[in-house]
Each structure stands twice: as structure tokens, then as C-alpha cells.
A = this chain, B = another copy of it.
Amino acid sequence: MNAHVRPPRLTDGDRLWSNLMTMAEIGALPHGGCCRLALTDEDRQARDLFVRWAREAGCEVSVDPFGNIFATRPGRSRDAAHVLVGSHLDTQPHGGRFDGVLGVLAGLETVRALNELGVETEHAVTVVNWTNEEGVRFSPGLTGSGGFVGAIRSYDTSAISGVGGVPFYPELHRTGYGGSTRLTARIAGYYELHIEQGPVLERAGVSVGVVEGVQGVRWLSVDFTGEDRHAGTTPARDRRDAFMAAARLAVDMRTAALALDDAFRITFGRVSVEPGSINTVPGRVNMTVDLRHSEVSHLDRIDEAIRREVVALHGTEGVEGTVERLMDVAPVRFDPAMQANIETSAAELGIATSRLPSGAMHDASNLATVAPSAMIFVPSRDGISHNENEWTDPIHVADGCEVLARAVLRHAMGDMGPH
């Protein structure tokens, strides 16, 4: 039997945990969660604290027109591309202590580790806080990273709507984070450490997940129109029951999706049945479908199957159906060399990993459109997120951060090889 010699840790898991708990006091909720909606006073306090900590770690701080904060530890050459590390400090209304904030503070911990190591890297390492990832106060979400990659144009006030009626740019300036310094450096790579928000890693007993990409998301709205009829007097053959059509569609399409790939995710989240009377055959149903998969071809196949079945249901149930596509976001694939780099770091530490897709969108989804990108997941207890009960154990936080720091270090030293 070989006893592996573990290398010393570069990062301080306790310090990171302490930072997370300190940050969690801003916008703290009664049951352990946080409410720091983007560009509220709580978000401003969180940003101020991050900026203070970043400056204490020797970083140069700049803010761009979307309020994204860049905290840079310079590299050997001013001209070399930056390695970016980050996530977001804003939360859901009943959010947890980890979603987003972990990636930002682990980036900061990485910078501190590099400082303590006394290393000068080839590439600058820049920690980023992206604005309004959650999309609660302003729509669309992923606003800051979307603006950074050019998906949203700055000062196009029609592009970002205030969900509560409060406009984006005035709130940005009110909180003091309406900047003008764009990060113009090339990006060698973008790393984002995040909680999984699902149960896969916990069930696998693995503390670090290497994210292969982000599933594509397609949203459909299906309307069925039959006829309201008396439940007592209308025989089965004379019914045009919109709910039976909807129920058959749901059952059959879940079977079809999971037969194609048991990793397929299909959800009928909003189902409205009218007129909603116990003794009336329902004449109208609206139902949404959320389809997620890593392959566009798989999304296409189920999308087409739904449309075919809606037509078939006209024949079998006498119900007219229409399908409208509400949203379509292509799958993202993360950089293979960066995924391998993360796995190398974990292997050095003897930390087991597994590869998995991300079911949710992240700022890395945007970054991947302009630069090599990768994500690291750590387990979420019971897969719970967007909830005050969201929790990740300290050991997983520490492992994830250490793997991140080693990957960033190698990348920033230029040891990744050409790609």
C-alpha cells in the first residue's frame, strides 16, 4: 500500500469560512439565510466589504459601466492576459450564505494565498463580482456578465428592466457602483467556484465537481382548447377535455425525454386549468414546459415530439393545441484544458471529483462566449438552494477553494500549455 503524501494547502479554509459568515451578516434573515437583492443598500454594503478586503489583499480595484467590480493582483507583464475568478454577491429574496458569494470570496482567498506564497504570476489574477446575477430586481438576470461580454449594451436603458419598477442605472449610481473603467485586458481563462444547487455531488459522496458545461434551456408554453361541459351529462366520447390532453402530454413527454437520456430534465411548472369547477369538464389549459439538456439535438427532439403529440391529441382528445417557444438558451461547453487543470489540482490533493453538467445558468455561461471558462461545484446539502436552508459543509468549501487556487495558480503561471 502506498501512502500518498498530501501537499500543503495554499489556501486557508477557516479564513474563507470566516469571511463567508461575516458577509452573511449583511442582509441576514432570521433562519440563517440572506437577502441582498442587487443594488440595494445591503448589496452596497457587501460590495464595500469586498472592495475593502480586496484592497487589504493588495488588489487594484476598478468598476465598469455595469457595476462589475474587478480586483486585480497584477502579473509579471502588464500586457499579459488576465486569469479571472469570480461570481456574484447578490442573493435571492430568501437566499442562502453560499450561492454566488462563495465564488467571489474564494477568488479573494486565492489572491491571499498567492500573496502568502510570494509568487509573481505570468498573468494577472482578477477577482470579479458580477452585478445582478439573480435577476430578482432587474431583468434579465446575469446582467453584469451579460454586459461584460457584449450581450447587453451599456446605457441601453431598454435592455434592462426594473422588475419592481426601479430603473437599473439610477440604482447603480445611487449605490456608488456606476463605474467607467472597462477591463480591456485579454482573458486567459475564467474560473467560477459555485455550490451545485442540486443533489448529485452529495449523493455521489464527492466534494468537488468539474462542470462540463451548462445545459441548454428551452421554455415552451402549451395552450389546449377543448370545451367546458357538464361532468354528469357528457359521455366520454363527447368530451374535449383540455386537462386530459395536458396530463397525457406530460406523462408521455417525460417518458420520451428520459428514454432519450435519463439526464434529461423536463418540468411542467405552471399549469392553469379553467374554468376550475369540480363538475365541469375543463375547456382550457395553459401549461409551461422547461426542457434542459447539454445537447441541442436532444432539446430539438423533445421539442418536436411535443409538437407532434399536441397534433396527435387533437385526433385522440378533440382538443386544439398550440405551442409557443418562450425562451431558448443554447448549451455551453466549458474549456477542456481548464477542466483537466482542475482535475489535476484535485488529484494532487487526493480529492475525488466527478464531472457533471450545470442545470442552472451562471455568469460563466456568459463568459464562455468570449473566453475559455470553467466551473467548479461543491455539494449542496439535500440539493437545496434559493432557500434559507441552503448549506455547504466547511470541508467542502475549503476543498473547493483549494482546488480553485491551485488551478488558477497553474493557469496564471502559464503552465497550462497552449490551447
Residues of A within 8 A of B (CB): 196-200, 203, 215, 217, 219, 229-238, 241, 243-244, 246-248, 250-251, 254, 258, 262-273, 276-282, 288, 290, 292, 326, 358-361, 383, 385-386
Contact of A235 among B243, B265, B277, B288 (CB under 8 A): B265
Q: How far is the CB of A267 from chain B (nearest CB, A)?
A: 4
Q: How far is the CB of A375 from chain B (nearest CB, A)?
A: 13
Inter-chain contact A280/B273, CB cutoff 8 Å: no
Please report the C-alpha to C-alpha distance between residue A281 and residue B267 in the assembled complex, in whole angstroms. 6
Contact of A236 among B203, B235, B265 (CB under 8 A): B265
Please report the C-alpha to C-alpha distance between residue A200 and residue B278 in the assembled complex, in whole angstroms. 22
Contacts of A386 in B (CB 8 A): 230
Contact of A232 among B236, B265, B280 (CB under 8 A): B265
Contacts of A196 in B (CB 8 A): 233
Contact of A269 among B219, B272, B281 (CB under 8 A): B281
Listed residue (A199, A233, A241, A244) with the most chain B CB atoms within 10 angstroms of its CB:
A233
Contacts of A198 in B (CB 8 A): 230, 233-235, 238
Inter-chain contact B233/A258, CB cutoff 8 Å: no
Inter-chain contact B265/A243, CB cutoff 8 Å: no
Please report the C-alpha to C-alpha distance between residue A234 and residue B358 in the assembled complex, in whole angstroms. 10
Inter-chain contact A231/B200, CB cutoff 8 Å: no
Q: Could you jot down 6 A-B contacts, CB within 8 Å?
A: A198-B235, A217-B232, A230-B359, A232-B358, A234-B265, A270-B273
Inter-chain contact A238/B270, CB cutoff 8 Å: no
Inter-chain contact B258/A251, CB cutoff 8 Å: no
Inter-chain contact A278/B282, CB cutoff 8 Å: no
Q: How far is the CB of A219 from chain B (nearest CB, A)?
A: 6
Contact of A277 among B203, B241, B269 (CB under 8 A): B269
Inter-chain contact B277/A270, CB cutoff 8 Å: yes
Contacts of A234 in B (CB 8 A): 198-199, 265, 359, 383
Contacts of A265 in B (CB 8 A): 231-232, 234-236
Inter-chain contact B278/A231, CB cutoff 8 Å: no
Whether A263 touches B235, Cβ cut-off 8 Å, given contacts A197-B230, A250-B247, A251-B244, is yes
Inter-chain contact A268/B254, CB cutoff 8 Å: no
Inter-chain contact B264/A236, CB cutoff 8 Å: yes
Inter-chain contact B267/A241, CB cutoff 8 Å: yes
Inter-chain contact B254/A282, CB cutoff 8 Å: no
Contacts of A231 in B (CB 8 A): 265, 267, 269, 290, 292, 359
Q: A232-B290, A235-B263, A278-B288 are in contact. List 6 more A-B contacts (CB 8 A).
A: A230-B385, A234-B383, A235-B262, A244-B250, A244-B268, A267-B280
Please report the C-alpha to C-alpha distance between residue A359 and residue B198 in the assembled complex, in whole angstroms. 49
Contact of A292 among B199, B232, B269, B288 (CB under 8 A): B232
**Considering only CB atoms, which chain B residue lies closest to A386 in the complex?**
B230
Contacts of A278 in B (CB 8 A): 219, 267, 269-270, 288, 290, 326
**Considering only CB atoms, which chain B residue lies closest to A252 in the complex?**
B251
Q: How far is the CB of A168 from chain B (nearest CB, A)?
A: 22
Please report the C-alpha to C-alpha distance between residue A263 and residue B229 in the assembled complex, in whole angstroms. 16
Q: How far is the CB of A318 from chain B (nearest CB, A)?
A: 13
Please report the C-alpha to C-alpha distance between residue A246 and residue B251 in the assembled complex, in whole angstroms. 10
Inter-chain contact A233/B279, CB cutoff 8 Å: no
Q: How far is the CB of A144 from chain B (nearest CB, A)?
A: 20
Query: 6 shortest A-B CB distances, which residue pairs?
Result: A198-B233, A232-B359, A233-B359, A231-B267, A247-B247, A247-B250
Whether A276 touches B269, Cβ cut-off 8 Å, given contacts A235-B200, A251-B247, is yes
Contacts of A383 in B (CB 8 A): 229-230, 233-234, 238
